[in-house]
Amino acid sequence: MTDSPQLHSLAEIRSWLRERVAFYLDQPGESIEPDVPLTDYGMNSIYGVSILGDIEDEFGVEFETIPTWTHPSINHIAKYLESMLASAR
Amino acid sequence: MTHNETVNGVQAEYDPAGNVHGNGADATLGDILSARACQHPEREALAFMPDVKSGIIRDRLTYGQLGQHARDVAAGVTALGYRAGQRALLLFPQGLDFAEAFFGCAYAGLIAVPAPPPEGSRASRERLAGLLADAQPALVLTDDATAPAVLSWLSGQPGATGTIPCITASSLAGRAVPRWTPPAVTSGDLALLQYTSGSTAEPKGVMVTHGNLVANLRLAHTFMGRPRTRGCGWLPLTHDMGLIGQFLITIYAGGWCLLLPPLEFAKRPYRWLELMSSYGAAQAIGPNFAYDLCARTVSEERIATLDLSRWTMAINGAEPIDPRTLEGFAKKFAPAGFRPEAFAPCYGLAEATLFVSGTPHDQPPVVTMVDGVQLALGRFVPVEGSGATGAAGAVQARALVSSGTVVAGSVLIVDPRSRHPRGDREVGEIWVTGSSVAKGYWGQPELTEAVFNARTAGGQAGYLRTGDLGVLDGERLYVTGRIKDVIIVRGRNLYPHDLEHAVRDQAGDLRFASTAVFALDGADGGGADGGGAYRDGDIVVVQGLQRSRHEPDELAAAAARIKHHLAQDWGADRASVIFVRASTISKTTSGKIRRVHMRQLFLRAALNPVYESLAPGVSGRLEEMK
Tell me the CA end-to-end span of chain B in Å, nearest whole number.
Answer: 68
Query: For position B441, what pLDDT does the model report?
Result: 96
Task: Give the DSSP letter string of A46-82.
Answer: HHHHHHHHHHHHHH----SS----SS--HHHHHHHHH
Closest CA to B182 of B79, B251, B308: B79
**Count of H-run helices and E-run strands, chain B:** 20, 29
Query: For position B174, what pLDDT does the model report?
Result: 61
CB contact under 8 A, B266 and A71: no
Q: Across the beta sheet with B139-142, what order do the strands follow?
A: B166-168, B139-142, B87-91, B111-115, B190-196, B204-209
> What's the mean pLDDT in B182-205?
86
Q: Among A2, A24, A35, A45, which would you mutate to test the B interface (most chain B Cβ atoms within 10 Å of its Cβ)?
A: A45
Task: Tell which wins on pLDDT, B163 or B608.
Answer: B608
- B266 Cα to chain A: minimum distance (Å): 5
Question: Residues 6 or more apart from B527 whose CB is under 8 A from it?
Answer: B451, B467, B484
CA B405 vs CA A44, B320, B398, B409: distances in Å: 33, 16, 20, 11
CB contact under 8 A, B296 and A46: no
CB contact under 8 A, A36 and B548: yes
CB contact under 8 A, B296 and A24: yes
Q: Sorting pLDDT into bands at 50, 70 and 90, what band is B150?
A: very high
Render pLDDT for B289-328 as a digit per residue (tens, 0 to 9). 899 999 989 999 999 999 999 999 999 987 778 899 999 9
Is residue B481 within a helix (H) or strand (E), and if so which, with residue range? Answer: strand B476-482
Closest CA to B346 of B298, B399, B406: B406
Among B296, B548, B582, beta carbon nearest to A39? B582
DSSP-assigned letter for residue B454: B
Report the SS3 class of residue B486.
coil
CB contact under 8 A, A44 and B267: no
| A64 contacts in chain B (CB < 8 Å) | none
CB contacts < 8 A (A, B): 59
CA A62 vs CA A1, A23, A79, B595, B596: distances in Å: 12, 22, 16, 36, 38
Q: Sorting pLDDT into bands at 50, 70 and 90, what band is A67?
A: confident
Question: Residues 6 or more apart from B302 whose CB is under 8 A from it?
Answer: B270, B273, B274
Task: Tell which wins on pLDDT, B247 or B509.
Answer: B247
Q: Among B500, B583, B594, which would you mutate to test the A interface (most chain A Cβ atoms within 10 Å of its Cβ)?
A: B583
CB contact under 8 A, A41 and B53: no
CB contact under 8 A, A46 and B297: no
Report the SS3 class of residue B373.
helix
Question: Residues 6 or more apart from B357 whose CB is under 8 A from it?
Answer: B346, B347, B348, B403, B404, B405, B406, B411, B477
Give dist(CA B207, CA B446) in Å, integer: 14
Q: Please tell me if residue B268 touches chain A, with a CB cutoff of 8 Å.
A: yes
Domains and CATH numbers, chain B: 3-283 (3.40.50.12780), 367-484 (2.30.38.10), 487-625 (3.30.300.30)
Q: Please tell me if residue A2 touches chain B, with a CB cutoff of 8 Å.
A: no
For residue B276, pLDDT over 80 is answered with yes
Q: Sorting pLDDT into bands at 50, 70 and 90, what band is B528?
A: very low
Closest A-chain CA to B515: A42
Question: Is B527 in contact with B350 (CB distance < 8 Å)?
Answer: no
Q: What is the pTM of this model?
A: 0.84
Q: Among A26, A32, A50, which would you mutate to test the B interface (most chain B Cβ atoms within 10 Å of its Cβ)?
A: A50
- Bridge partners of B613? B577
For chain B, the maximum distance between any two Cα atoms, rounded to a whole number of angstroms, is 82
> What's the mean pLDDT in B133-156?
93
CB contact under 8 A, A26 and B266: no
Give the best-scoring range by mean pLDDT among A58-67, B194-203, B531-540.
Answer: A58-67
Query: For position B425, what pLDDT does the model report?
Result: 97
CB contact under 8 A, A42 and B513: yes
Q: What's the one-letter identity of residue B324?
A: R
Please, is B42 exposed, middle or buried when counting C-beta atoms within 10 Å of its C-beta (0-12, 13-18, 19+)? exposed
CB contact under 8 A, B589 and A36: no
Query: For position B1, what pLDDT does the model report?
Result: 34
Render pLDDT for B73-114 as a digit per residue (tens, 0 to 9). 999 999 899 999 999 999 999 999 999 999 999 999 999 999
Looking from the CA of A11 toward its CB, the CA atoms found within 13 Å total 0
| B269 contacts in chain A (CB < 8 Å) | 50
Q: Would the ipTM clear 0.85, i.e. be above it? A: no
Task: Tell which wins on pLDDT, B543 or B200.
Answer: B543
Report the SS3 class of residue B79.
helix
Give dist(CA B401, CA B395) in Å, integer: 18
For residue A32, pLDDT over 60 is answered with yes
- A17 Cα to chain B: minimum distance (Å): 15
Domains and CATH numbers, chain A: 10-88 (1.10.1200.10)
Query: For position B5, what pLDDT does the model report?
Result: 41
For residue B519, pLDDT over 70 is answered with yes
Task: Tell which wins on pLDDT, B591 or B175.
Answer: B591
Q: Among B274, B319, B543, B546, which would you mutate to test the A interface (most chain A Cβ atoms within 10 Å of its Cβ)?
A: B546
- B333 Cα to chain A: minimum distance (Å): 19
CA angle in degrees (0–180, nearest 5) for B37-B38-B43? 50
Cα B244 to chain centroid distance, Å, stands at 11
CB contact under 8 A, B266 and A46: yes
Question: Residues 6 or more apart from B390 whose CB is under 8 A from it?
Answer: none
Q: Sorting pLDDT into bands at 50, 70 and 90, what band is B15?
A: very low
Question: Residues 6 or more apart from B344 whose CB is under 8 A from it?
Answer: B223, B313, B314, B315, B316, B358, B359, B360, B361, B365, B404
